[in-house]
Amino acid sequence: MVRVFRNARLWRLDAAGFEAAADLIARAEADYEPDAVAKRLCLPTVSMTARHNETDAVRVPATGRVRVDDRGVVALPDQARVLLVDDICGSGATLQTVTAIIRGVRRPSLLRTAVLCRNVGATYTPDTWVWDVADWTCFPWEDDPGQPTETLEVRSEVRHR
């Protein structure tokens, strides 16, 4: 697990940036017709909770283990086409763990991954992502970090593996 933090800034993804990025991901992944995806594609959503950090506090090191509440995976039909979406791919451990669970329990016909941000040191590369980051990123659903932040610029396209 290698995450890169240059400690040059604290990134913030604001609500408008999140909405724009979600639209970009939805458009980029629409051709794959996933069965579990964000509301923008008007398809069923299945939620799973996975944590790699003990808290959402800024610059908390990852624990090295991923805790997953995988109860939602049983809602997926066998052979489903799945898009697994997460906020960030820090090291890749969470995406690797959750994809292994999904593959082991439901054997999807297609399993793709998409994230808002990918840390430049991640050993796993998702299929689709919006920003490459080398500093901590705060998301709209997290508490205010109480420190100055720089807003991630809205992008016009996604990145692909």
pLDDT in tens, 84-107: 999 999 999 999 999 999 999 888
Q: How many structural domains compose the chain?
A: 1
* Residue 135 is assigned to a structural domain of this protein: yes
What pLDDT sits at residue 36? 35
What CATH number has the domain bearing residue 141?
3.40.50.2020
* Residue 6 is assigned to a structural domain of this protein: no
* Residue 146 is assigned to a structural domain of this protein: yes
pLDDT bin (cut points 50, 70, 90) of residue 40 is: low
Task: Quote the domain boundaries for residue 103.
Answer: 11-160
Cβ atoms within 10 Å, residue 106? 21
* Residue 15 is assigned to a structural domain of this protein: yes
Q: Rounded distance, CA 94 to CA 2, Å?
A: 13
* Residue 1 is assigned to a structural domain of this protein: no
Of the CA atoms within 13 Å of residue 14, those in its CB half-sphere come to 8
Q: Rounded distance, CA 135 to CA 158, Å?
A: 19
Q: Please state the pTM of the whole predicted model.
A: 0.84
Q: Rounded distance, CA 152 to CA 161, Å?
A: 21
* Residue 78 is assigned to a structural domain of this protein: yes
Asked if the model's pLDDT at residue 1 lies above 60, the reply is no
* Residue 3 is assigned to a structural domain of this protein: no
Q: What's the gap between Cα 61 and its chain centre?
A: 17
* Residue 2 is assigned to a structural domain of this protein: no
State both tokens at 141.
Answer: 């659903």
